[in-house]
Chain A
Amino acid sequence: MTTAETETVESFRLRARAWLAENMPRLDADAPLPTLGDDDHEWVRARELQKLLHAGGFAGICFPREYGGLGLSPAHQRAFTEETAGYEMPVQLNIPTFSIVAATLLDMGSEEQKRERISAAIRGDEVLCQFLSEPSGGSDLAGLLTRAELDGDTWILNGQKTWSTSAYAADWGLCLARTNWDVPKHRGLTMFLIPTEAPGLHMNRVKMVNGSREFCEEFFTDVQLPASAVVGEVNNGWAVASRQLFHERNAVGGGSPYVSGIAGRPRALGGQSLFTVARATGRAAEPGVRERVGEWVALEAVKNQMVSRVSRAIGSGALPPPAASLLRLFHAEAAQRGTDLAMDIAGAQIAAGVGTDEGVTGRAGVSYLSRQGASLGGGSSEMARNQISERLLGMPREPAADRDIPFNQVKRGRV
């Protein structure tokens, strides 16, 4: 289709509405919540649902046609997502597969990487993940220690990554490694696209406080990669990582145009809305409880209103890309206020379940335990505040003890 033939948003919306009604399974609002910690079957389901979307011609709405997408605008995407309310959608693929990894490949990848990986993800054949954080640190990403060395035409990768969300379910990961130790940290990094099944890659799952096992850690021992695994240029991996971090903040904040459908149930609250918690405690008529529920309703609304305004502003150039950190920061604040309000409402019942079951209030308690995940995952809130103050407000950069110093001479911590 040429631009002139692009379908209008309204016609696309109506077509999507009819197709969804005919083809997509409905969400069952009364279905019991999945047990925390066991989500493997959700990944199988996500691929099935993505294949359905693809077969119906509604997958990869904002990705270009040559890479398997529809080449439509964010407005088409938003309209589609609005129409998907009430349907089961492959929301697991939103972050990081589409909105972070595929989006970064689209900006920085080779023609081959784009053609193969993006289209496979859109078809529902492949899931993507990110290997960035390391045991030595995630905020100072450019200070990472995983190394890649060239042996003839082959890269040999050694090191360790951690906290990689749902890597066990993924087929490929974007992995940042150090390829030159004699230059300052940002100048010696290279980004690689690696298969999670590569020989020499050993993966463990890490249990989180809420029982989930979506976290993974990976050990790389002489993993061999061809030259075509490099994303962008050798030793210019920071340029790729910067785009990736932008997409990450935008995605975690809720502003990515590459997501399809929104999670029907609030994730930060263990899948339960505050209405559910208020009703379960039998306190829904108390003014204090109603105030808290209303506060939560307002915060959720403001979060979405902010996403639409800031995304529009970044798109039009009214705000520069670092403004994505506004969304990132507010997302964490809203999510955490939500868990706090749920705890207030659950009151005396937060620490106990129903019989041997966690029950609604027990689940609110468990969600409260992982409260800080919202201000760590996707870059911490402190880093978002650094970004906003320095990149958006133009305040002086933090002093750094590693600036302009060859990385092999930079001091490292003991943990």
Chain B
Amino acid sequence: MELELTADQKLFQSSARSLLEKDHSLDRLRRLEPGESAWDRDSWQRGAELGWAATIVPEELGGGSVSGEGVRDLTLLAEELGSVVAPGPFLPVNVVLAGLVAAHGTGPDHTATIEALVAGEQVAAWAVYEPGGHWAPEAAHVAASPTADGWRLDGTKDRVEAGLQADLLLVTATTPEGLAQFLVPTSAEGVTTSPQWALDLSRPLAEVRLDGVVVGPDAVVGTPATTAEIVEKQLQIALLVQCAELCGGLEKMFALTMQWGFDRYSFGRPLASYQALKHRYADMRTWLEACHSTTQAAAEAVQAGSPDAPQLVSVAKSFVAERAQWILQDCVQLHGGIGVTWEHDLHLYLRRATSDRALYGTPEDHRRRLADLSSL
């Protein structure tokens, strides 16, 4: 969390909070039936009306942010959503928007799509992973071959967040000229989306098959020369949203575990009076502060478009995702047996954290990236 919020930011935060209170409950998440979706288009639409897909989009493209610094507002929102493990396409829609905005003015025009996404009328998802593959956005096996009047896409993507509900997919694919991204309607002929088992109950995943899918030349996002840069922007937003969501969730679960430490007694005194446990709370509190510090530093760098933004998002992701795990597992331990039950909230957060750790680069992937970026 930022140390100081402006009045406008506080208002933005509290509007998000009250919508989440109305539309969402952890209990509902816990009781989802197999095949039942964790979220619906109406509730996303209500979020979009509050600006959830607008923060990083410039005003002339239909967006806008309350503080004038969109990335910071996005981070603030992500914390709110993360603190209640909110379902919905917040991450994928904003990631796709980051790409479309970064590409704006270079390749085909996507203004209408941007506006529809900002308004919540459409939902988009980033199809970047491929079955069995690790984080390697630059090495897509999905092939895009030029045709007389456009492109033909073949191959399979998986781990597509919100892929089942999406109207549009932003697909990474290899063209004869290298990596490119295409906006593909899920309704296009040859596109098959199917549900994929997901550890995080709140974030349905999909597998997407592309069999001879034909798109026009205007489906391209950016140009071959700018694709790497655009993908980097998308990654930065994905990582920031993950880190901020994790911070929000950790804050919530740490507070819950603190309260438990004071309320739960053993041998006639509260758990919080045992030094062995106090010291673990102290470690968790320290790591939590460190998670906030690195997330905010990354947000500032992405906001400013500073040259070290790629490093700082990798620093944040590699650190926060690992510490989130340490903290949440320790919260489970301090709760005792109840911590490993379905009825307790902790696993909902642990699912999210474990899934966030895995997606868009693991801590190990980002550490190697840091070594690359430091030209070792």
In angstroms, how far is the closest chain A Cβ from the Cβ of B157?
25
In angstroms, how far is the closest chain A Cβ from the Cβ of B260?
12
Q: Which of B6-14, B16-24, B215-223, B275-283 lies on the face that meets chain A?
A: B275-283
B229 is an interface residue with CB less than 8 A from chain A: no
In angstroms, how far is the closest chain A Cβ from the Cβ of B309?
13
- Residues of A near B63 (CB, < 8 A) are none
Instruction: Kindly state the interface size class of chain A when it binds its partner.
Output: 35 or more
Query: Do residues B318 and A295 form an inter-chain contact, with CB atoms below 8 A?
Result: yes
Q: Tell me the B residues contacting A by CB distance below 8 Å.
A: 3-4, 258, 261-262, 269-270, 272-273, 275, 278-279, 281-283, 285-286, 289-290, 292-294, 296-297, 311-312, 314-315, 318-319, 363-364, 366-372, 374, 376
Query: Can you list 14 A-B contacts with CB-CB less than 8 angstroms, sorted by A residue number?
Result: A294-B368, A294-B371, A294-B374, A297-B311, A297-B367, A309-B297, A310-B289, A313-B3, A329-B286, A333-B286, A386-B282, A389-B279, A395-B262, A398-B275
Residue of A nearest to B363 (CB): A295
CB under 8 Å from chain B, chain A span 300-350? 301-303, 305-306, 308-310, 312-313, 316, 318, 323, 325-326, 329-330, 333
Query: Do residues B281 and A389 form an inter-chain contact, with CB atoms below 8 A?
Result: yes
Query: Do residues A395 and B273 form an inter-chain contact, with CB atoms below 8 A?
Result: yes
Given A386-B275, A395-B273, decide whether A306 and B281 contact each other with a Cβ distance below 8 A.
Answer: no
Whole-angstrom CA separation of A385 from B285 in the bound complex: 10
- Return the contact of B318 from the options A298, A329, A392 (Cβ within 8 A): A298
Query: Do residues A395 and B374 form an inter-chain contact, with CB atoms below 8 A?
Result: no
- Return the contact of A294 from the options B278, B296, B369 (Cβ within 8 A): B369
Whole-angstrom CA separation of A406 from B292 in the bound complex: 45
Whole-angstrom CA separation of A393 from B278 in the bound complex: 9
- Residues of B near A302 (CB, < 8 A) are 290, 293-294, 315, 319
- Residues of B near A299 (CB, < 8 A) are 319
Given A301-B312, A306-B290, decide whether A393 and B285 contact each other with a Cβ distance below 8 A.
Answer: yes
- Residues of B near A386 (CB, < 8 A) are 275, 278-279, 282
In angstroms, how far is the closest chain A Cβ from the Cβ of B143?
28
Query: Do residues A390 and B278 form an inter-chain contact, with CB atoms below 8 A?
Result: yes
Query: Do residues A388 and B286 form an inter-chain contact, with CB atoms below 8 A?
Result: yes
A330-B286, A386-B279, A388-B282 provided; 17 other pairs, C-beta below 8 A?
A290-B368, A290-B376, A291-B368, A293-B367, A294-B367, A298-B319, A301-B311, A302-B290, A309-B297, A313-B3, A318-B3, A330-B289, A330-B290, A386-B275, A386-B282, A390-B278, A396-B270
Whole-angstrom CA separation of A308 from B3 in the bound complex: 11
